[in-house]
Structure 1
Amino acid sequence: MPRITETNSQMPAEVSEQPVLLSTLIFLGVFGCIALATSILIADFVVPNHDWIADTISDLGAGRYEFIVDMGLYAFAAALIGLAVLAAHVHLGAWDWSVGIIALIVFGLLVFLIGARNEYGDNDSDGWVIHSYLVYALGVTMTIACFALARGAARASPRYRTVLIATGIVWVASSPVFFFLPTDIDGIYERYLGAVSFVLVVILSHLFYQRAKQRKAY
């Protein structure tokens, strides 16, 4: 058998970041936020007798026009998983950054399942109803993602760390309140929480956008 030398068995010393991959997934991240916000806005006008202050996004995701918000949820789920791929491609931290990557993946899968299950807003009680558990898990993974990615993001700029930690604090303080609100205002509050989750996606997209620009400059 031919002898395998040390030279040809070694892996490349450096693995370069791919600007095209960065740009594509950054676009996906921003598009996911826009798609979800747009789908909610369209559904607010299309769904009959819908009160966007009192009725939640979950109410829009059930019934005849459920596909409108579902498409937005799927796009947002893809954005989160795309950011996880970006974070793995450009690994900026130690174990905590890796935890953040896993949290982004789980966050995206939870958003996808919430859209796919279609068991909310219509008093569904058939089978194994897991919507509430998905929402609880989503709240946890959002929190983990914000704090776990903060230290690594600081390597790009301390401002990213500040924004991620601030977003995590706001989320931790705000999200439990939703479950205690009267039903005549929980719709608008849920939209506020959605906007907070957008901050995570936008700040990470901006971080990787700046990274891609720097790579193109060389």
Structure 2
Amino acid sequence: MHATLTAPSARRTRDRATLVCGIAGLASCMIVIMADFTTATIYERLGLFADTISAMAAGRGAMIMDTALLILVGGIVAIAFGLWRQRLPGWRWRAVIIALLAVAGIIAAIALFNEYGDGDVNDSWTFHYRLVYALGIIFTAVPLLAAHDLKPIDRRLWLGSYALGAAWFVAGPLMFTVPTGWDGLLERVAAGIMLLWLIGASIFLIRQPDGR
């Protein structure tokens, strides 16, 4: 009898934690999007095409963008924790969680180091771009590995995750080949792909407590 009475309460606790993780992830994505547009409007004017996110974070909008990126880091950690709570079997799901935590660590390093080759710190340009390269490689695995375990749950999630993974795989390398006047736009396309996956993962977690 005791086990019967306590089981529903424990279930509600687990669901509430998953819901909070999803809300935190979704909110962090919205905040970083608003921060980018706010910085472009207030400080950089119409710099969304020509100015990369890194350039804005190194300029007058550093406080806004760095804060938003750190909030995003917290949101990614929350998403990883929420996905971990789903307890899906297999090594791919665990790899997705580890990769998300690595992505969070890289973004935190980019925001906290706050150097973009402006000469303040020796070799800072190389350090920054090494982080960007690592981010590109590691995040590629996230949607592709997650898609495998999402297929039995919802075919739309499976297809969406694969599509975003393929789009990221194509858009990432292109960022380093486009003219300077357009690199900001392509970087935002790539960032948008990542945010779309994170938003999808957040909504997935938000809906879990309802069993849908």
Mark yes or no: TM-score above 0.5.
Answer: yes
Kindly indicate whether the alpha-carbon contact (under 8 Å) linking 2:19 and 2:209 is maintained by their aligned counterparts in 1: yes
1:28 aligned to 13, 24, 34, which one?
Answer: 24
> 1:148 maps to which residue?
145
Kindly indicate whether the alpha-carbon contact (under 8 Å) linking 1:43 and 1:65 is maintained by their aligned counterparts in 2: yes
Kindly indicate whether the alpha-carbon contact (under 8 Å) linking 2:70 and 2:107 is maintained by their aligned counterparts in 1: yes
**Structure-1-length-normalised TM-score:** 0.86
How far did residue 170 of structure 1 move? 0.6
Structure 1: give runs of 5+ residues left out of the alignment: 1-11
SS state at 1:114 partner = helix
Q: Which runs of 4+ in 1 moved over 4 A?
A: none
Looking at structure 1, the residues matched to 204 and 153 of structure 2 have their Cα atoms a distance apart, in angstroms, of 7
Identical columns (%): 24
Looking at structure 1, the residues matched to 166 and 19 of structure 2 have their Cα atoms a distance apart, in angstroms, of 29
Looking at structure 1, the residues matched to 44 and 163 of structure 2 have their Cα atoms a distance apart, in angstroms, of 37
How far did residue 49 of structure 1 move? 5.9
Looking at structure 2, the residues matched to 52 and 210 of structure 1 have their Cα atoms a distance apart, in angstroms, of 33
Looking at structure 2, the residues matched to 42 and 48 of structure 1 have their Cα atoms a distance apart, in angstroms, of 9
**Structure-2-length-normalised TM-score:** 0.88
2:122 aligned to 115, 119, 127, which one?
Answer: 127
How far did residue 155 of structure 1 move? 3.0
Looking at structure 2, the residues matched to 102 and 30 of structure 1 have their Cα atoms a distance apart, in angstroms, of 20
How far did residue 205 of structure 1 move? 1.4
Q: Does 1:204 align with 2:168?
A: no
Kindly indicate whether the alpha-carbon contact (under 8 Å) linking 1:114 and 1:134 is maintained by their aligned counterparts in 2: yes
Looking at structure 2, the residues matched to 63 and 174 of structure 1 have their Cα atoms a distance apart, in angstroms, of 25
Deviations 1:69-112 (A, max 9, x none): 11111111111111111111112230011111100100111111
Kindly indicate whether the alpha-carbon contact (under 8 Å) linking 2:96 and 2:146 is maintained by their aligned counterparts in 1: yes
Looking at structure 2, the residues matched to 94 and 48 of structure 1 have their Cα atoms a distance apart, in angstroms, of 46
> 1:214 maps to which residue?
211
> 2:92 maps to which residue?
96
2:43 aligned to 44, 47, 52, which one?
Answer: 47
1:139 aligned to 136, 139, 146, which one?
Answer: 136
> 1:5 maps to which residue?
none
Q: Relative CO higher for 1 or 2, CA cutoff 8 Å, sep ≥ 6?
A: 2
The structure with more radius of gyration: 1
One-letter code of the match for 1:66? A
One-letter code of the match for 2:122? G
Which has a greater percent of helix?
2
How far did residue 124 of structure 1 move? 3.2
Note the 1:168-207 alignment, pairs <5 A. 168-207=165-204
